[in-house]
C-alpha cells in the first residue's frame, strides 16, 4: 500500500483539492481533474517507478486510460518552445522519455512497462 506522503504528493501534482461527499463539485466548477480511487492508486504505483529515472515530473503530462484488466498511466514529456522531439527509443524531450505503465486493477501492481516508439 502506498505511503500517505506519496498519495498526498500525487494529489498535489494533479492539483486536486480535498472535498467531502456532502460537497460534490458542480459541472463546470473550478476542478480540472477527476480521478477514481483506482486511478489514484495506479498513478501512485506508476509514479513510484517513474521517480527512479530522476526526471522532473513537473515537466510531464500524465494521462490515465482505462483498459479491461488494467489501467494505463502514461508520462509524456513536454517540449520546450525551442525543442524538437527526439527520435529514439522512448522518444521524448530534454525532460525525459515517454513511459507507459500498465497497472493491474486487481492488485494495483505494475504488470508491464512500455516506452514510446
With 80 as the cut, is the pLDDT of residue 42 above it?
Answer: yes
In a domain, 56, yes or no: yes
In a domain, 21, yes or no: no
* Domain extent at residue 93: 36-115
CA-based R_g, the chain, Å: 15
- Please name which of 77, 49, 79, 84 lies closest in space to residue 63, comparing C-alpha atoms: 77
- Please name which of 112, 116, 43, 38 lies closest in space to residue 76, comparing C-alpha atoms: 116
Which pLDDT value is given to residue 48? 97
What's the total number of domains in the chain?
Answer: 1
Does the model's pTM come out above 0.85? no
Q: Which residue has the higher pLDDT, 14 or 94?
A: 94
Q: How far is CA 104 from CA 2, 49, 55, 92, 101, in A?
A: 15, 14, 24, 25, 10
The residues pairing with 99 across neighbouring beta strands, listed in sequence order, are 75, 115
With 50 as the cut, is the pLDDT of residue 21 above it?
Answer: no
Q: Which residue has the higher pLDDT, 45 or 15?
A: 45
Q: Which of 3-17, 48-62, 68-82 has the lowest mean pLDDT?
A: 3-17
Q: Which residue has the higher pLDDT, 80 or 29?
A: 80
Amino acid at each position: 500500500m502506498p505511503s500517505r506522503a506519496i498519495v498526498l504528493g500525487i494529489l498535489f501534482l494533479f492539483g486536486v483539492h480535498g472535498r467531502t461527499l456532502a460537497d460534490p463539485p458542480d459541472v463546470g466548477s473550478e476542478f480540472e481533474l477527476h480521478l477514481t480511487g483506482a486511478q489514484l492508486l495506479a498513478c501512485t504505483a506508476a509514479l513510484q517507478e517513474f521517480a527512479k529515472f530522476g526526471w522532473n515530473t513537473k515537466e510531464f503530462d500524465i494521462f490515465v486510460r482505462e483498459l479491461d484488466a488494467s489501467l494505463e498511466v502514461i508520462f509524456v514529456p513536454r517540449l520546450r518552445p525551442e525543442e524538437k522531439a527526439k527520435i529514439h527509443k522512448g522518444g521524448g524531450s530534454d525532460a525525459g522519455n515517454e513511459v507507459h505503465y500498465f497497472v493491474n486493477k486487481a492488485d494495483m501492481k505494475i504488470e508491464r512497462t512500455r516506452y514510446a516508439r
